[in-house]
């Protein structure tokens, strides 16, 4: 099922697609791991321990889609704000990466076939990428996850070949990376007119970035455990400006009809 707030004015020419929670479940549970890293850092200095969990959870929800180094900079700033030392964002990013490494490696080791890889993807994601490709849409993978992880994990999932418009993420080669700038570069490169950029993601960051560039934005509000609609995510993503909301890509024919046959601005559920 797809909830349509606004219908597109144009068929997409370029799709900017997020990775974690939008296509991939390789990092499923990252929010819990990040929460634990942040709490360990903040707890010795936080003046209101009864509020710390809510503060961290709220920040993670708001910042989903930001480069991880930016999220870790928030931790460093707040540790210092509450009287602790400046350890630097990289210090906390290293802690987060170390905590994630074992679960990621374990999952990748099971991806010996395409069918096995599909178990670590949002339902219907591979078909969605193939459908965009079949319609001639250029696809860029744009994520807040570091670039070298994106390359490795997209290859393990056997979807790296879909991204003819490139794979973009933060790293030493792009220390000032933002999704908005990566999308803006695509708009310029492909000389897109308003409505020809499609932004697809589960974070407010990529939805807001897509809207700022006059793109059409599909929000993926998926409960990663069940694959069904996450109402909390849906609320955040609608506030960010989503034009349509899906829990997954199983309704591929409805999504295809919306993107390539849709017109006008009526709200509906397909």
Rounded to an integer, what distance in angstroms lies between the CA atom of residue 32 and that of residue 13? 36
Tokens of 146: 């570091």
First to last CA, the chain: 6
Q: What is the pLDDT of residue 268?
A: 56
pTM of the model: 0.87
d(CA 75, CA 66): 14
Q: Which residues pair with 211 in a beta bridge?
A: none
The per-residue pLDDT for range 200-249, each reduced to its tens digit, is 999 999 999 999 999 999 999 999 889 999 999 999 999 999 999 999 99
Per-residue pLDDT reduced to its tens digit, 188-202 = 999 999 999 999 999
Q: Which tokens sit at 188?
A: 């310029």
Q: Please provide the CATH number assigned to the domain covering 2-26+114-269.
A: 3.40.50.1000
> Domain limits of the chain?
2-26+114-269, 30-109
Q: Which residues are within 8 A (CB) of 80 and not within 5 positions of it... i.e. 6 or more apart?
A: 86
Alpha helices, DSSP H, located in 43-88: 52-63, 68-81
Beta bridge partners of 20: 24
pLDDT tens digits for 153-195? Answer: 999 999 999 999 999 999 876 668 999 999 999 999 999 999 9
Q: Report the alpha-carbon angle 30-168-146, nearest 5.
A: 35
């Amino acid at each position: 099922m797809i909830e349509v707030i606004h219908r597109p004015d144009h068929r997409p020419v370029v799709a900017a697609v997020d990775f974690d929670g939008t296509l991939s479940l390789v990092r499923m549970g990252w929010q819990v791991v990040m929460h634990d890293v942040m709490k360990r850092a903040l707890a010795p200095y936080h003046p209101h321990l009864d509020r710390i969990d809510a503060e961290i959870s709220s920040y993670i929800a708001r910042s989903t889609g930001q480069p991880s180094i930016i999220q870790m900079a928030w931790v460093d700033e707040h540790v210092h704000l509450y009287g602790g030392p400046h350890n630097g964002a990289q210090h906390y990013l290293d802690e987060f990466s170390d905590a994630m490494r074992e679960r990621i490696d374990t999952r990748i080791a099971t991806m010996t076939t395409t069918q096995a890889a599909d178990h670590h993807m949002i339902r219907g994601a591979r078909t969605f990428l193939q459908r965009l490709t079949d319609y001639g849409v250029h696809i860029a993978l744009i994520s807040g996850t570091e670039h070298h992880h994106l390359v490795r994990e997209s290859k393990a999932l056997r979807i790296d070949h879909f991204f003819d418009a490139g794979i973009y993420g933060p790293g030493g080669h792009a220390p000032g990376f933002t999704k908005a700038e990566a999308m803006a570069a695509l708009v310029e490169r492909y000389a897109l007119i308003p409505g020809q950029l499609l932004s697809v993601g589960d974070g407010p960051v990529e939805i807001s970035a897509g809207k700022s560039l006059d793109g059409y934005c599909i929000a993926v509000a998926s409960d990663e455990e069940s694959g069904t609609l996450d109402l909390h995510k849906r609320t955040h993503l609608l506030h960010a400006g989503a034009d349509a909301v899906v829990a997954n890509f199983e309704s591929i024919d409805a999504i295809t009809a919306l993107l390539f046959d849709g017109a006008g601005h009526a709200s509906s559920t397909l």
